[in-house]
Every structure is written in C-alpha cells, then in structure tokens.
Structure 1
C-alpha cells in the first residue's frame, strides 16, 4: 500500500537528482517541447505576421498550451515590433484601448489614473492609437496585439477589435491582432452579429493534445532539462534531450501508457500527473514508477481513471477470474453437441430367442444419425455493458474486456458507441458473465434477449 496519504509530502527533486522541478505548471520556455501541433501553429502564425495579415485565431482545449505558445511567439517577433499582451479578457472596450496605448509606450500609468486620459472617450483613445499606427510605416515597424482567454471577451469589445483591424495602408495592415482562446471561441465567432468579424480572420489554428507517441518524449524532454545545468543553454533537439534522460527515466512503459490514457495527451494534465507520481514515489522511497502509482496519483488529483488502466492496475482478483472462468465454461457447455443416442443391443437378425416363436424379419428402420446437426437456438442473449460518445473510448473498454476473456465488441449508432458482451446461447451463461462484469464495477449491465 502506498504511503503518500500517511506522511507529509517531500521534495522529490534531490531524490531523483533534478536541478529544477520538471513538471511545474509555470510556462518556463526552457521546458518547451516542440509538439507537432504547436510547431505547426507557431509557423503558421509567424508566416501570417510576416505577410502583414490582420486577424489570426488560435484555439485549443484547456491545458493544451495556448499561453505557452503566445510566450514563445513574443520571443520570435522582429525587433521593430510594438507588442501589447492582454491577459484580462474582462476589460471594457475603453480599458482595452488604454492598456494597448500603455503597452505601446504612448501613455503612462499616471495619464490613465489621474491625467488627461482618465475620462477620455473611446473615440479619443482610438484617434491616439490611429495617429501612432500611421507613423509606423515610415519607421518600417509593426504593431501586434495578443489577446489571451479571448473566449471571455464581450461582444462590444470584440466589435471594437474588428474596428481596429480595419486600420491599413494600400498594401498592409497597420495593426495585427492574435486571439487565443478555448475551443468555444470558435462557436462564439459564428454568431450572426459577429459575421463581419469572422470574415476578417485570415488564419484559424487549433492546438491539439499530444499524440500518443509524443507523450513519452515529452516526459523525457522535461526530465532531461530538469537534470541539466539551469545556467547553461538547453539542447535544441527533442531527440537528444530524450536520449539524455533515458538512464534517469523513472516511469515504466506501462506507466507512460497509463499517463497517456488518463491525460488524453493534454500537457497540463500530464504535468500534474507526473509531478504527483514523483512525489508519491519519493514518499515510498521508490525509484521506479509503475501503473499503480500513476493510478493512485490520478485519484488523488480527482482525475478519472479509465477502466483499461484500472484493470491493469488491479490485475483482476481471483473472484473476477473465477467468474470469468464460469462464464467461459457456460458458453462452452451451451454450445456442446448432445451425446450420441445409443440403441439397446439387439440379437442378430435370423436368430430366435429361447422359448419364443420365430417371427418374420422386420422392415429396416432408419435411426437418427448420432452426428446429425443440432438446431440452432431460437434466441440468444447479449449484455449491454456501457455506451460512449467517442469510438476511441468504446474501443478501449472493449479491448480491455477482450483481454480478460469476454467476447466484447463495439456496436456503433448515430450518437453512441455501445459496448456489447456476447452473444450467449443461454440466460445462465449471460448471468455468469454479468456477475463477472459486476465484480469489475460495471454496475449497470443489462441482459437483452434477441430472437
């Protein structure tokens, strides 16, 4: 039994030889992993900025690294670029304009708080910004606004951003704007009142979670950086960093697969899970992290642990294996052919039993062949185990059940992917299989009879 809950947490960094915390949630640029989705999005935005395009959109699920991407982008912009980063999406249109003017160096905090701009109208602020943008062409400079968490912007603020995107010369935009937000921002921008805004977006990029094959290199990358001297430049290539971390890699392959399933490839969840797993392993003086530690860490973080991970972790207790065996035997028994019919012994034809009168030979009769085919059952039984909206989740559960000996399959429908176990030739076999599934914490298993 793991002891993480019974003792105070300890710093695991010295125990594993890390010079920095490998899985901090702070977007440290030293730990940036060049995932395929991130690199593709970054290059697309840089290309659009170089072409002086006006509005760009970056969306992604929570924890996929939108803020990290924006920070990487800031370091790659040309020297003559005026930058404004808006981290508070709840600003009014006027406050947004004041923040932009402040970031561009056109006004001071004193001007905003108690000076001429305290009660300035939106029109006055826009005119000041427009005069500044008009001077950039002569300086061969550009201006970029990055708005993070843009899904929380008000419709009025979004409309003000649209108006700002109209500032342009005959050949280029004077102001380039990047909106970064969660995936529901795409739905918001489809509203009828925002059609004009949506038509002005020249690039739409979406950050995806890590691919399954990227999770292990991602973990190894961060471990290698944490082992390295923080005062020296980091290695530029992911493959080299991963190779450096192989000898110190504390996660088993099964543990990495469990992390992949639990996190769904979301970097923030991977960081949380790896950090807690390392802390738990340190509390138990373990150098190696297995699936059990990962699953315990996930539960401690209130993360859902997929059935396939739980099954591997629990290794199916004896009662479950016994129920599975009963299920299998029931299936076999139900499908066995009945024993061959054996006729009673008859005396040879032409002989007479003692004391009996001779009789005429009887006509030959046709006995049923002992190997005659047995009629198929008129009904069969299936177990409805679970339903999922995604085919991948349904396949995971069905695959785990198949590995445990259940005849599981996925039956797709319009909206749901159903996991079915069966068919069974008898209700007894179906009941035995249901008992085994209940032991595996499938509480809502139903038996269906089909003609």
Structure 2
C-alpha cells in the first residue's frame, strides 16, 4: 500500500462515506444549512437529490451527526422494503420492542405511542431514508400516512428523503401526488467545480495525515476534472488509483500519465475524446516549452515576474 510512501496515516480516497473527511463545498454547505433549518423549523418532508456519487449518503450522515440530543434520528439505508417492513425497521430504530407476530395496525399504534412519548419529552423524531428512488410506491404511501401523526402543535415525525434524480419522476406519479405536495424543502446537490475539486483533494490528504508538498500536478488535476466531471466518488476512485500508479513508479507527485492510467482502469469515467486529448497535449507542450525557456534564460523571469 502507498500510505507509508506518501506519509499518510490512513487512506485519503476511500469511497466509504466518512464524516471525518466531509468537505464543505458550496453545494454541500447550502444543502446542510437547508436541512438543518427545515428540521429545526419542524417541516414535515424534505427532499435531497443528486446524481450517483455526488455524496448524498455522506451528507445524510453529516446531518445525523450535526443534530443534538433534542433529536432522535431513525436511519433507513435500505429502500427495498414493503410497507410493513418499513414500519418494523422504524420501530427498531426507535427502540420499540415488538412481539414475534404483529399486524400493521398494532405497528402503527406502537409507533404513535412512542412518537407521543418523544414529543412529551421535547424530542423531535427525524427519519432519514436513502436511495428512495428505488422504494416501492406502496411503501412511500405508507410513509406519507405515517407522517399524518401529529399533535395540535406540530408533526410527530419529520422525514428527509435522499435519492437520485429519477426520484422526481416517481413522485410525479398520480398515486403518490399527495406525498409530493408535502415536500416543503427540495435541494439538488451539484458536482464539484474545478477549483473545489482541488481543495477537496487537498482537504482529504490533510485529514489523512499528509504533510508534504503538492501531490497532484496542474495537468493531473486538469485531466482528473475532465474525467470525473467533478463527481466526488469518481474523483476518489481516480485519485486512489493514480496514487497507486505513482507509488509503483517510486514518485512523490502524481502526473498526467498516472491519472490517464487510473482513468483507463475505471469503466465509469467518460472518454475525453480527440479534442480533449489535443488540448491536453497543447497545454503540456506549452508548459514544457515555457519551462525550458525560463531555465535557459532566467533573466526573463526576474525581469517580468
């Protein structure tokens, strides 16, 4: 492994969501602020969508870790649940002990009693559901019915749903139009900008213990952005593979060749195409030529820079 070679304490580019590596891009900051405001305001339904790999699960975990003891969070990562299975998962998350055999009616009654107990204690219950675009329509409807539980002053349960853009198509179906009408806050996660990607890479390296000089060359960063389109998961995959390639060559700085090798080994990235390659070649050539001129005529640098 390359950890010792680069002076790292842990892998900086794991694709497992880890809140210790959370990077507050503009989109992430806005999304988290929206979530916290909506939840503290007592809003019923909140929706966060984003393309595959944009960090929805990490944002969900960051949200959960940001809520204090005045909140009870139930996390449902598995969307492939039938209505009764969802209710049983929620009961388990809320610490409700159930008999071996239980009807949906008794489940709802037990959940209602527990939610009332939390409300009397001044605790807000928040349910976070991931990958909701894959959840059955019937289960989404059961979730809506569960959200009907309320006191005279506020909802007994708040729901935050995370999903891919296809979730919008599902919510447009007539059978669950009432659920869509209940969504009071809706946010679409953006990809990283080119500058944010560079800060993102540096941030993860520092968190992983890196204290050396610049890890990625400018050309390497340019190619990585072209290949990843700023999708954090793809950035992590390419960066990890590029570090492996760099380590294999005994180098300390990741260059263009290592990123190209990483991209060639990753099916989920798009091809740059002929125009992209031509532009990169021009940039590399210009850098080499300018570097050669400055080395040959150092007075040029001192006179103009």
Normalised by the length of structure 1, the TM-score is 0.60
1:80 to 2:46 alignment: no
Q: Which residue of 2 aligns with 1:227?
A: 209
Q: Which of 205, 211, 214 is matched with 2:187 structurally?
A: 205
Could you tell me how far 1:34 is from its partner in structure 2? 0.6
Secondary structure of 1:202's aligned partner = strand
Q: CA RMSD in A?
A: 1.6
Closer, same or farther: CA 58–205 of 1 in aligned 2, 3 Å = same
Q: Which residue of 2 aligns with 1:49?
A: 39
1-structure distance, mates of 2:24, 2:91? 33
Could you tell me how far 1:136 is from its partner in structure 2? 2.5
* Matched ranges for 1:213-362 at <5 A: 213-227=195-209, 247-302=212-267, 303-307=269-273, 308-312=275-279
Number of residues of Structure 1 aligned to a counterpart in Structure 2 = 281
1:130 to 2:112 alignment: yes
Secondary structure of 1:227's aligned partner = coil
Could you tell me how far 1:176 is from its partner in structure 2? 0.5
Q: Which moved more, 1:297-306 or 1:55-64?
A: 297-306
1:140 to 2:140 alignment: no
- CA deviations on 1:226-263 (whole Å, 9 max, x unpaired) are 126xxxxxxxxxxxxxxxx6x52221111111111110
1:12 to 2:2 alignment: yes
1:33 to 2:16 alignment: no
Could you tell me how far 1:280 is from its partner in structure 2? 0.5
2-structure distance, mates of 1:41, 1:26? 20
Q: Which moved more, 1:127-136 or 1:158-167?
A: 127-136
1-structure distance, mates of 2:71, 2:270? 44
2-structure distance, mates of 1:283, 1:313? 24
Normalised by the length of structure 2, the TM-score is 0.88
Any unmatched runs of 5+ in structure 2? 284-305
Secondary structure of 2:75's aligned partner = strand
- CA deviations on 1:178-232 (whole Å, 9 max, x unpaired) are 111111101110111111110001111111111122011111111111126xxxx
Determine which structure has greater relative contact order: mean sequence separation of CA pairs < 8 Å that are 6+ residues apart, divided by chain length. Answer: 2
Q: Which residue of 2 aligns with 1:166?
A: 148
Q: Which moved more, 1:301-310 or 1:211-220?
A: 301-310
Q: Which residue of 2 aligns with 1:429?
A: none
Secondary structure of 2:15's aligned partner = coil
Secondary structure of 2:208's aligned partner = helix
2-structure distance, mates of 1:135, 1:287? 58
1-structure distance, mates of 2:123, 2:282? 63
Secondary structure of 1:166's aligned partner = coil
1-structure distance, mates of 2:34, 2:167? 19
Could you tell me how far 1:78 is from its partner in structure 2? 2.4
Secondary structure of 1:18's aligned partner = coil
Q: Which residue of 2 aligns with 1:181?
A: 163
Closer, same or farther: CA 309–15 of 1 in aligned 2, 3 Å = farther
Any unmatched runs of 5+ in structure 1? 1-10, 229-244, 317-451
Q: Conserved in 2, the CA contact under 8 Å of 1:295 and 1:310? A: no
Q: Which runs of 4+ in 1 moved over 6 A?
A: none
Closer, same or farther: CA 310–293 of 1 in aligned 2, 3 Å = farther
Could you tell me how far 1:309 is from its partner in structure 2? 4.0
1:121 to 2:103 alignment: yes
2-structure distance, mates of 1:73, 1:268? 19
Q: Which of 173, 177, 182 is matched with 1:195 structurally?
A: 177
- CA deviations on 1:59-87 (whole Å, 9 max, x unpaired) are 11000001101111111112032221111
**Greater helix share, 1 or 2?**
2
Q: Which residue of 1 aligns with 2:303?
A: none
1-structure distance, mates of 2:119, 2:255? 59
Secondary structure of 2:186's aligned partner = strand
2-structure distance, mates of 1:82, 1:14? 41
2-structure distance, mates of 1:203, 1:119? 37
